[in-house]
Structure 1
Amino acid sequence: MIGYRFSQFVPPQDGGDPFERLLKVFMELLTHTSGDVSEALNWMNQLDRQYGLTDNEYGMGDFIEDLKKNGYIEDDQEASGSFQITAKSEQTIRQRSLEEIFGKLKRSGRGNHRSHNVGFGDEPLSELKGFEFGDSVENIAFTESFRNAQINHGIDDFQLTENDLSVREKEHRTSVSTVLMIDISHSMILYGEDRITPAKKVAMALSELILRKYPKDTLDIIVFGNDAWQIQIKDLPYLQVGPYHTNTVAGLELAMDILRRRKTTNKQIFMITDGKPTCIREGARYYKNSYGLDRKILNKTLNLGAQCRRLKIPITTFMIARDNWLVEFVQEFTRVNNGRAFYTSLQGLGEYIFEDFIRNRKKRVR
């Protein structure tokens, strides 16, 4: 008998593949430990003792061997007896972050961002219009054009004129350059609240989204503390908070410098932070003030926000703290830049950024 026979699926009683179950926990712990395999495995052993993650058939030692065999970890050449994660693990962490944060995203083909305008582009639509001077010949819908000619002139005196031609509309496609700024000042782990891990997850999910769905876009990621510097996407799992103040000026200057080199028309900055600017650099020294809003620091920050506005670079600020003086700073900064601001909890951070990212790409900046 040729064909397929379907039957009711009965899930396994043991909860599925033990390696896959443990891998989910391991990947989550790697994000929290900034890619420290030894610390993540120590945590897993503690969880195993407390909650019984393994059994007599499949132990933690088997899991470690499978991690090596499947290419998720490898021996650390610099530290004997230790492991480090591989590029496969880095990509898996980004993928799982995307699934966790943007899980409702409908699967679609690779492409660029849609615009409400129609005209020249690379995505054909169902709509037709009459031929106009300047329309590309390759966009002519010949089947519909021949049908128009038959209707207008008949079979016996068949002719195809300019008035018979129909052209298929195409959507505009835009490419967007985005800089994601992540605050790694000490306040991101202050008061016992882990704010850096959700920020890392959002950055990894956003980078994976762009790599998959918007391959013509660019995403640059920078971190800022006392100074600002650019990191690669592969470095995101290892990102840690430092004993830094918040030099928002340095972050904005670097973001503007990066976007200045990008040839795309559409540019934007996303900034994830939990605090007010408390530091600027003056030559070889740092000017710092952690108490309240220092006008000297604030004015330099606002000046850069205004400069970005003149360059048509909107800044969207995602504030993951709601102290009154922080809200005051963000409101003034947003007004000067003519950008947007979201005051969000850690749980809703990914959804806010996703919605704003997609909405921005439905606009066409002229």
Structure 2
Amino acid sequence: MATPARRYRYHEWLGGDDPLAPPPDLRAALDELGREVMEGSSPQAALRELMRRGVQGTQGLDDLTRRVWERRSQIQRRNNLDGTMREVQRLLNDALTAERRELFPNPSDDARFREAQLDALPPGTAAAVTELSNYDWQSSDARESYRQIQDLLGREMLEQRFQGMKQAMQNATPQDVERIKDMLSDLNSLLSAHSAGEDTTEQFQEFMAKHGEFFPENPRNTDELADLLAQRSAAAQRMLNSMTDEQRAELAQLGQQAFGDPSLGAQLDLLDAHLQQLRPGEDWNGSARFRGKNPMGLGEGAQAMQDLAELDALAEQLAQSYPGASLEDIDVESLVRQLGQEAGVDARRLSEMERALRQQGLLERAADGSLRLTPKALRRLGETALRQVVDQLRGRGERDSDKAGAAGEPTGSTRAWEFGDTEPWDVSRTVRNAVLRTVSSGGGKVRLAVEDVEITETEQRARAAVALCVDTSWSMVQDGRWLPMKRTALALHQLISTRFRTDALQLITFGRHATTVDIGELTALEGAWEQGTNLHHALLLAGRHVRRHPDAQPVVLVVTDGEPTAHLESDGEAVFNYPPLERTLGKTLVEVDSLAKLGASISVFRLGDEPRLARFVDVIARRSGGRVIAPDLDGLGAAVVGDYLRNRRRS
């Protein structure tokens, strides 16, 4: 039976993340993260810095925050809050002009009396509108302009509390106004019962069944309805707080003329009171300064205040400065509303990148709750560091370390694979074993099993006991040598752990004291202000490492930018002095001679041009049969790895 053809559907892309966009570049992110850690940041701080800066193709939190503040400033800089008052003033002037034009040719005393009424109107816009509420307009145009004032006030006051109501109530009929008043009455009754602690489940359902058309957000219960309304009502209050006392007084007076029905304003005031009681945590006392030329109506002003509040919340979320902050906290929908679709995509990609770094085992939580790089992350950083070193070595025409560390020359014989073997497979004998085993067991499909594998035997290759001693005194941090030193250690560690697995590497740091560290500790090591370059102690630890591996070729590598200024006494106390004491130099050279007796030649990688250091490391090289290399910082890794390979070739 034929397999039915697979069907695909294609439709218009409706926004959201680009489905064809590449996934976050975790290797680039990890390299950035590793660089920050190696420069002395904690992994947690390094991750924050990475999220702040972003990566190529994705804006970081700093850029998004800057755009949030620009958007906030733009709203305040372009707009002002007197839009409704200006529009009411314009309509009032139109009404008065049309009425006077109608009255002027009329010779009757009634016309003169009406003109006197118009001339005696109070100077304030709100007072004049109130005074004219019972005026019998003679001009139909004037009557229509005044009706538009009442209609505008009603729609603006509703828009303040219910987004979208201004458009819905365009050309509202008396029946529409009655429906709104009925809804407000039922709403206040519902919120009053809820505020009193009553169970309003049934009342809420009846309310939504009757008035649900006014709430496209479709709240599921009274609490969600209160949350929805309180945000808008608080924004309206903040807008009023931003006005002058005179403007607030005029608006309060004009509110009585909304749709020509004073009871509407009273219902809205009662609604605000209920919401303030139910949601006191909303910002009811805030304000903002608007200094632009674009006039906003009451509804637009309330929306602007909501936008400002949303932008303030986004700025806090993007700052990630509060305890337990996470990129998951960012309200992406709000970000898209304020900054556009691309900002939402960037925020989602940053969050995805942070989550992927954790999920893919690159970051882990330590026992003390802090973040740290996992061994997997350190291997990836080591691969990057080693790749850079290999590129430099190839540029110099030196040995290709990608092929370094293979077993010795084949002997011509094979043997069965055992756990831990790293020699190459003998493919033909392995496949033959699988075929013979399958045939002897009755045939069937040939499948490889562990017991089929044979490996090519090789000559035994000499092991090396490698001690990399790195200077961690403050001058290494101060002079920009900290990061190159760590990258060098990462590259050498990666080379030995992947290409020369039988070699034994010991990492030793030395400042006032010396200590042995693993690659994770060295990578995360923070620079500290501490005087002293205790090479004596470092060589002492290197000697112990070499003695633990008597069958291995000793390789001692020292990276330093200062002459020895500290030594270790027999009681474990580190003695520091600058300039160096003769005792310090003498004890250091004793350890050099001790290593030379073990067959170790010491390679010193001298950073900087300090003459006293240059003279002393020359003495070390002569007494140990080693050499001094003075690389620039970019070439430090290649110099150390190249010297390690040179020492191995001699074995």
Superposition TM-score, scaled by structure 1 size: 0.72
Counterpart AA for 2:521: D
State yes or no: 1:211 paired with 2:211.
no
Residue 567 of structure 2 aligns with which residue? 280
Structure number having the greater helix percentage: 2
Residue 308 of structure 1 aligns with which residue? 595
* 8 Å Cα contact 1:184-1:244 kept in structure 2: no
Distance 1:53 1:314, change over 3 A: farther
State yes or no: 1:333 paired with 2:339.
no
Distance 1:17 1:289, change over 3 A: same
| Superposition map of 1:153-164 within 5 A | none
Count residues with an aligned counterpart: 295
Q: 2:403 aligns with which of 108, 120, 143?
A: 108
* 8 Å Cα contact 1:318-1:341 kept in structure 2: yes
Distance 1:226 1:203, change over 3 A: same
* 8 Å Cα contact 2:508-2:515 kept in structure 1: yes
Structure 2: segments with no counterpart, 5+ residues? 1-17, 61-341, 395-399, 413-457
Residue 40 of structure 1 aligns with which residue? 46
Counterpart AA for 2:371: F
Q: CA deviation digits over 1:249-293, x for unaligned, max 9? A: 1111111111111132411210111111001123354322122x4
> Structure 1 CA distance, aligned partners of 2:597 and 2:401?
36
Q: 1:177 aligns with which of 461, 465, 469?
A: 465
1:240: how far off? 2.8
State yes or no: 1:91 paired with 2:379.
yes
> Structure 1 CA distance, aligned partners of 2:36 and 2:364?
17
Q: CA deviation digits over 1:94-136, x for unaligned, max 9? A: 2222222224445337535xxxxxxxxx51389xxxxxxxxxx
> Structure 2 CA distance, aligned partners of 1:211 and 1:186?
29
Specify the SS of the correspondent of 1:102.
helix
Specify the SS of the correspondent of 2:54.
helix
* 8 Å Cα contact 1:247-1:277 kept in structure 2: yes
> Structure 1 CA distance, aligned partners of 2:601 and 2:21?
47
Structure number having the greater strand percentage: 1
* 8 Å Cα contact 2:390-2:402 kept in structure 1: no
* 8 Å Cα contact 1:245-1:288 kept in structure 2: yes
Q: 2:358 aligns with which of 43, 47, 68?
A: 68
Q: Identity of counterpart residues, as a percentage?
A: 25
Residue 36 of structure 2 aligns with which residue? 29
> Structure 1 CA distance, aligned partners of 2:578 and 2:57?
43
- 88-97 or 327-336, which deviates more: 88-97
Counterpart AA for 1:262: H
Counterpart AA for 2:609: R
State yes or no: 1:360 paired with 2:366.
no
Specify the SS of the correspondent of 1:290.
coil
1:75: how far off? 4.0
Structure 1: segments with no counterpart, 5+ residues? 1-11, 113-121, 127-169
* 8 Å Cα contact 1:31-1:93 kept in structure 2: no
> Structure 2 CA distance, aligned partners of 1:124 and 1:64?
47
> Structure 1 CA distance, aligned partners of 2:646 and 2:401?
15
Counterpart AA for 1:200: K
Counterpart AA for 1:78: D
Distance 1:175 1:39, change over 3 A: same
> Structure 1 CA distance, aligned partners of 2:365 and 2:590?
49
1:72: how far off? 1.6
> Structure 2 CA distance, aligned partners of 1:44 and 1:61?
12
Q: 2:547 aligns with which of 256, 260, 268?
A: 260
| Cα RMSD for the two superposed structures | 2.9
Q: 2:409 aligns with which of 117, 123, 138?
A: 123
Distance 1:107 1:334, change over 3 A: closer
Residue 632 of structure 2 aligns with which residue? 345
| Superposition map of 1:121-160 within 5 A | 122-124=408-410
Residue 229 of structure 1 aligns with which residue? 515
Q: 1:269 aligns with which of 551, 556, 563?
A: 556
* 8 Å Cα contact 2:602-2:620 kept in structure 1: no
> Structure 1 CA distance, aligned partners of 2:405 and 2:591?
35
1:214: how far off? 0.9
1:217: how far off? 1.0
| Superposition map of 1:237-256 within 5 A | 237-242=523-528, 243-256=530-543
Distance 1:289 1:173, change over 3 A: same
* 8 Å Cα contact 1:181-1:251 kept in structure 2: yes
Counterpart AA for 1:43: E
Counterpart AA for 1:299: G
1:182: how far off? 1.1
Q: CA deviation digits over 1:278-337, x for unaligned, max 9? A: 01123354322122x432211221222122222211111111111111111111221122
Distance 1:204 1:22, change over 3 A: closer
Q: 2:368 aligns with which of 73, 78, 81?
A: 78
Counterpart AA for 1:32: E
* 8 Å Cα contact 1:22-1:53 kept in structure 2: no
Distance 1:219 1:83, change over 3 A: closer
